[in-house]
Chain A
Amino acid sequence: MNLFAEAFRWIVDPSHWTGGPDISGHLLEHLSVSAYCVVIAVAIALPIGVMIGHTGKGRGAAILISNVARALPTLGLLSILILLFGIGLLPITIVLVILAIPPMLAGAYAGVESVDKQTVDAARALGMSELQIIFRVEIPLAAPLLIGGLRACALQVIATLGIASAFAFGGLGIYLINGLATADYTQLLAGAILITVLALIVDGALAVVQRFVVPRGVALGRTDPNGHQKRARAPRPRVLQEGMQS
Chain B
Amino acid sequence: MIEFCGVSKTYPDGTHAVQDFSLSIPARQITVLVGSSGSGKTTLMRMINRMVEPTSGSIEIDGQDISKAEPVQLRRGIGYVMQNAGLLPHRKVIDNIATVPRLTGVPKSQARTRALELMDTVGLDRALAERYPSQLSGGQQQRVGVARGLAVDPNILLMDEPFSAVDPIVRDELQQEVLRLQSELAKTIVFVSHDIDEAFLLGDQVIVLAQGGEIVQQGTPEEILANPASDFVATFIGADRGKRRLSVSQTQARGDDRVLVDAGGYPVGVIAAPEGRLAVSSASPKSRSVSNKTDQAGDA
Contacts and interface: CB of A to CB of B under 8 A. Distances in A.
Contacts of A123: 88
B86 A216 contact: no
B75 A216 contact: no
B75 A217 contact: no
B4 interface: no
Nearest to B151: A126
Interface stretch (B119-127, B129-137, B250-258): B129-137
A217 B136 CA distance: 11
Contacts of A217: 89-92, 132-134
Interface string B136-152: 00000000000010000
| From A127, A128, A137, A221, residue with most partner B Cβ within 10 Å | A127
Interface in A121-135: 121-129, 132
A69 to B, nearest CB: 33
Contact of B99 (A126, A141, A220): A126
Contacts of A141: 89-90
B199 interface: no
Interface residues of A, number: 23
Interface string A193-224: 00000000000000000000001111011010
Contact of B134 (A122, A124, A129, A218): A218
Interface stretch (B12-20, B76-84, B230-238): B76-84
B86 A125 contact: yes
A116 B134 CA distance: 14
Nearest to A128: B103
Contact of B103 (A118, A127, A223): A127
B148 A126 contact: yes
B51 A216 contact: no
Given A140-B90, A141-B89, A220 B134 contact: yes
Interface residues of B, number: 27
Contacts of A32: none
Nearest to B92: A217
B103 A215 contact: no
Contacts of B89: 116, 119, 141, 215, 217-218, 221
B106 to A, nearest CB: 13
Contact of A126 (B46, B73, B92, B100): B100
B119 to A, nearest CB: 17
A125 B72 contact: no
B103 A125 contact: no
B193 interface: no
B31 interface: no
Interface of A: 116, 118-119, 121-129, 132, 137, 140-141, 215-218, 220-221, 223
16 contacts: A116-B89, A118-B82, A122-B80, A122-B86, A124-B51, A125-B75, A126-B75, A126-B100, A129-B72, A215-B90, A216-B90, A217-B92, A217-B134, A218-B90, A220-B132, A220-B134
Q: Give the 3 A-B residue pairs with the shortest CB-CB distance, closest first.
A: A122-B86, A217-B132, A221-B134
